């Protein structure tokens, strides 16, 4: 069971959280302006990488707040969690925080 640090509540076990998939995919301001391909890309295309991925998490059995996290999908290590709206922290070529 993973340990996840909610930015508002601190470290809690994984069972208190819900993962919401890849982060930093903003809903388009005007969806009607997108062609079908671009809209399908927004809806369905995710990077699904082996390595450090920015993910959305929600402390569903806690404060119910969404936040973002950098997680290494290979090792399951959480590099950092951060509030919604903040930019994605930079990571070096070794998968460590810069």
How would you classify the pairing of strands 3-6 and 10-13? Answer: antiparallel
Here's the x/- map for other proteins, 21-40, by CB under 8 A: it reads as -----xx--xxx-x-x--xx
Q: Taking the complex as a whole, how short is the minimal distance between the CB of residue 42 and other proteins, in angstroms?
A: 8
Alpha-helical (H) ranges within 1-98 are: 36-44
- What residues contact residue 68 under an 8 Å CB cut-off, 6+ apart? 23, 24, 54, 55, 56, 57, 81, 82, 83, 84, 86, 88
Is residue 12 part of the contact set for other proteins (CB under 8 A)?
Answer: no
Which residue in 45, 47, 64, 88 binds other proteins (CB under 8 A)? 64
Is residue 85 part of the contact set for other proteins (CB under 8 A)?
Answer: yes
Q: Taking the complex as a whole, how short is the minimal distance between the CB of residue 79 and other proteins, in angstroms?
A: 13
Is residue 56 part of the contact set for other proteins (CB under 8 A)?
Answer: yes
């Amino acid at each position: 069971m993973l340990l996840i640090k909610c930015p508002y509540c601190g470290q809690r076990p994984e069972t208190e959280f819900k993962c919401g998939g890849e982060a930093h995919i903003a809903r388009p301001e005007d969806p009607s302006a997108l062609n079908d391909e671009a809209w399908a890309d927004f809806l369905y295309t995710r990077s699904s990488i082996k390595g450090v991925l920015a993910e959305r998490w929600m402390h569903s059995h806690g404060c119910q707040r969404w936040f973002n996290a950098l997680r290494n999908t290979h090792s399951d290590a959480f590099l950092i969690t951060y509030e919604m709206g903040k930019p994605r922290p930079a990571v070096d070529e070794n998968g460590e925080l810069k």
